[in-house]
Amino acid sequence: MPTIGIVAGEASGDLLGSHLIQALKKHRPDLDFVGIAGPKMISEGAHSLFPMERLSVRGYIEVLRHLPGLLKIRKQVLQHFLKNPPDIFIGIDAPDFNFALERKLKRSGIKTFHYVSPSIWAWRKGRMGKIKRAVSHMLALFPFEPALYEKAGVPVTYVGHPLADILPLDPDKKNAREHLKIKPQTVVVAMLPGSRQSEVKQLADLFVKTAKKMLETNEDIQFLVPLITRETRTIFERAIYDNQDEVALPINILFGHAHMAMEAADAVVVASGTATLEAALLKRPMVITYRMPWLSWQILKRMNYLPYVGLPNVLAGRFVVPELLQHDATPEKLAEATLKVLSDKDLINDIRNEFMNIHHALRQNTEEKAAQAILAHL
């Protein structure tokens, strides 16, 4: 039975991996998938050597704290694959973990694919040399990436972004609001503080204070906060409790349903990350924000050279939506920016037109394209 080695490091990679496994199995149902997988990949038949959660660490200081455990896992995964060589290895995102693994596997004669290019276009000191030593073939999600790899002599295939295939070109706000029992005329703001506990801890109080500021201008706004774990829900509920006055705040915490919350919303306040792309594909005006521990921020801001960090702005090549990061992420500034994207009709139309262009560019039948690129080398 042909074996595919596969390693994903977090929820977004698990989703990509599950769809890729589905597409590969359509053509080759005899394939066996082994590596590090999340619940979605496991449900498609992947065998996980370690829990994927062990890899889900973000931020320089946070990674340092977990580094001994991560290195031990990587060494054991490498030993497994050297002892039981797969026909092909696919690293899904998680570049810091996967590139070192891929380099050693490639050196041993195993063809390595990397699915999701790291943000080489965003950092001064690019990692192209490191990538070239590690990767036999790059599967790129964004249309401006292939030229960078071709110039460096790295084989690459542009496959588009799977979210562009999944999400409709014309979101159904009416249907989403009916599901969530929200009246058509209500002004709705979705707030997405991230999926990790560390992110929610950084942003929960900020988001609640922002909601309070906005309610001073318009007391009829309804806020939706989709969170996927009990732990993140508890953190956000605590922030609501700490900021509560006599009147209950109109903040509705949802278990999951992030797409539905954004689809139902008039505007979105969102932590920088994949959710910004989801909001763009749902054509929602947004304000992008982020806070991180002080030392991580000092390191990050010295490396970043693009003027924007949010994917919608990177893809558009301009500031389509505002970004308020770290010290600029205050309740006053967030409230002002969100109220503007709710009320400025010219701005709303510009945002929607740009997001529709982005959606068309990214809609490429991603899993099938990625599967075909891999199968050609199997």
Is residue 33 within 8 A of residue 47, CB to CB? The reply is yes
Per-residue pLDDT of the chain (378 residues; tens, 9 = 90+): 899 999 998 888 898 999 999 999 999 999 999 999 999 999 999 999 988 776 655 554 455 555 676 788 889 999 999 999 999 999 998 888 899 999 999 999 999 999 999 877 655 445 788 899 999 999 999 998 999 899 989 999 999 998 999 999 999 999 999 999 999 999 999 999 988 888 899 899 999 999 999 999 988 999 999 998 899 999 999 999 989 886 789 999 999 899 999 999 999 999 988 899 999 999 999 999 987 666 665 666 665 655 778 899 999 989 999 999 878 999 999 999 999 999 999 999 999 999 999 999 999 999 999 999 999 998
Measured CA angle at 187 (ends 183, 188), to 5 deg: 90
**Residue ranges of the chain assigned to CATH 3.40.50.2000:** 3-160+364-375, 173-362
Q: Which residues pair with 111 in a beta bridge?
A: 88
| Residue 38: CB atoms within 10 Å | 25
pLDDT at position 124:
46
User: What DSSP element (H or E) covers 225?
Assistant: strand 221-227
**CATH fold for the domain made of 173-362:** Rossmann fold (3.40.50)
Considering the segment(s) 3-160+364-375 as one domain, its CATH architecture is 3-Layer(aba) Sandwich (3.40)
Q: Which residues contact 130 (CB under 8 A, 6 or more apart)?
A: 99, 103
What is the spatial distance between Cα 307 and Cα 88, in angstroms, rounded to a whole number?
38
Collapse the DSSP code of 157 into the 3-class scheme (helix H, G, I; strand E, B; otherwise coil) and give the result. Answer: strand
DSSP per residue over 347-376, as a string?
HHHHHHHHHHHHHHHH-S-HHHHHHHHHHT
